[in-house]
Chain A
Amino acid sequence: MKEAFKNISTHFSLQEDEISRYAVRGIRPMAVAHVENTGELCQWLKECWHQRAKVNVWGAGGFQELGGALTAHDITVTTSGHHKIVDYDHDNFTVTVKSGLLLGELANTVKQHNQFLPYNPATGADKTIGGLVAANEYGSLCFFFGTARDLVLGLKIVLADGRLVRFGGKTMKNVAGYDLCKLFIGSMGTLGVIDEITLKLYPLPQELIRFEYSAGDSDACQGFLKKIYRSNLPIWDVVADSRLFIRFTIPTLGIAGKDLIDKVSSQLGETLQHSSFSMREYSTGCDDFFKSNSDTLVKWIVPKSRVSDVFAYLNGQDGGMPSLAYPGRGVVFTRITGYEKTEQIVNLCKKFRDHARKLDGRLNVYRADIPVVQKLDVWDVDQNTLYWSKALKKEYDPQGVFASGRFVGGI
């Protein structure tokens, strides 16, 4: 096996120290391959397919511990060297990049043309775009711009057997054939490796205004959110936290900042704290929440009217749990703090999950240590989706080339 791999690329390593750097929760590959172009990526997969080897794809390494526990694998393929900007079509407001490009680098490039990608995953910009899209990560801007599903116009995918296929394109409207982009986005790399991504860009706004509102109790919180949902204001992002503090951002778009502030306040019927800043300084300020790696992090997915119920529930818990929500999406992240024992954490997660179900929602364990993950299904998936997800996995990766264990049902 090793001999065959060596023929593919010089960027191939069997070195102990190198291999150990690519261990995931203690599970190490046999070898590491650093790909730098599409040809290499295809070749590696083709070879793995023939050798019946299991592959783990590694971008910037940011999501290796996301989801369930990764099963044993033979080869880790890294994509961070595969980071070309293939086609930046500013007039068309699209950019096509290779999957190993870091989001931050892309953001910097398009900024120079006064454009921006409205995609701000809270996990940070030091991740590869391929990884972010595969993990379906997103940030507060999803309120207005949606998630990867809405921003990705086209994908090139390397299939389990090493064939390269292309879906979608450079246009917003495209209904030629099945929309397989949707299948691969958020599939956690279990069906194929993302090779190339075409994304939709927007003009960089000149000035934004951030508004802040502090709700007295969870009813007031929900009342205010409701006003936001019902308003026709061009709100770009909304973030709320368990202190019932709500922040949202509106671009001025040619309106004097002061006027905008007046209009927004009167439309929402509240005097709001506000500050103005440029897109270059844009930050939702919630990165810290995700940075700390020590706690277990769970993700509530509820109908959006239940977000304040989640807050109310959490605030009633012992010690209070710091939480952060993208309320328009009905998503609340909760950091489980103050618990050490696996048993306790698992039970708490289960309790939360029960409560999420009561709110017509679901609860995923977003990040947890291996003992927790082993005792708990981290994905709260419904039976239908699970059944068909398994069927799809079987069809597209019948040999199980892509290292599994991380996605729903252990896929």
Chain B
Amino acid sequence: MPQAGLWEEYKVLSDQTLEAVVQCSKCGFCQPTCPTYAVSGLEHEVARGRHQLVRGLVEGRLELDKNLKTALFQCLMCNACYTNCFPKIKTDEIIAEVRNLWIREKGQPALQRYIFHTLLRHPELLGRLLKMASFGKRSGISGLAQVLRCLGWYGKNIANAEGLLESIPKSFLRERLAAQSLIPEKRRGKVAYFVGCGINYAQPDVGYATAQVMNKRGFEVEVIDNYCCGLPAYAYGDLDSVRWFVEKNIRIFSNLQADYIVTDCASCTSFLKEYKRFVPEDSEQQKIVKDFTGRLRDMTTWLYETEDLAEYKTGGNTQTVTLHDPCHLSHYLQEKVAPREVLKNIPAVVYKELAESDFCCGGAGSYNIAHYDVSMKILKRKMAHVKNTGAQVLATACPACIIQISYGVRKFNAPVRIKHVSELVLENSE
């Protein structure tokens, strides 16, 4: 039996989190949609179980111990459960806060601290380190590799220093975009482009395509000099760092003059939409947040909204394309229409729906590194569905998914190329 008193006294978690946990009616409807449950069938691997664990903690029936840690840290924070949850419980918010509690009580590993408090806060330092590595200065590479594993930008390859060297692009996106004009001939408006870390450091080609497409549709591109959106820190429960990033970015957003603010990383988009949670109500900052989230679009949504400006090649060969919905797009932003419609509008695309398209790929930031076995079981399921479509190309809209599914292509021999929606649009544009 729940004891009312305990809930009032339990002040180590916020009121919102406690209320969210209590809302779980144990209906169990999250079971078929939760990827970790789908591959394990274990109650501690599903939203219901996770909420009950937190409840057990609050009610003093469970300790903040290793068992609890495993269960709570194995959550993908994909929020597929949220989509199916009757009372609409945002599992990610609960999990982030409990992970934060863990850090507060048990301390943050030094490596994570270094990443969130030093590296990501000083992009120039991070860039220098990566450059050194890519120019073959090997000293300290294995340390760097370890750091980058925590961020997951280069996937499984960086298990060793060689893998890392291969994966770091010769130049980062910001450098490439700085070197050219981003003003179209016929200018219709302006987009401020929020460059996510994964795109900048690992997948500049995607970002390059994004900028090109914006130009082609008549939009000048202003590359925002932003910091990391803060999501990696959030996933590890480092809420202090999250607040640091939020504050920095808000300051940068405060004087953006653009019709749209767009990012081609669905995770960034969804997390930027959450900024309101991290600034005081009725503050000046809150106003800025409101203003920029009003103009904020995920690249897929932006493409969809500006679809009438698209000029696609006609004739030519067709290719079958299927879509993997990134969790941050489908479950956080509840956006499933835009990417589909954009793809279907491309004349050369024969669209094929993917079974369980909004089921997490197991990438989930750096989840694939921290929980390799679980991640691979989830990926295996995804790749089986991908193979069944017979598609030549799999499109998606988040760098973490691209990394994970590309890995799946090699590991499970799936004859499919992975592309960001931006890249497909660019390829097919006049």
Are A and B direct contacts in the complex by CB distance below 8 Å?
Answer: no
User: Which residues of B are in contact with A by a Cβ distance under 8 Å?
Assistant: none
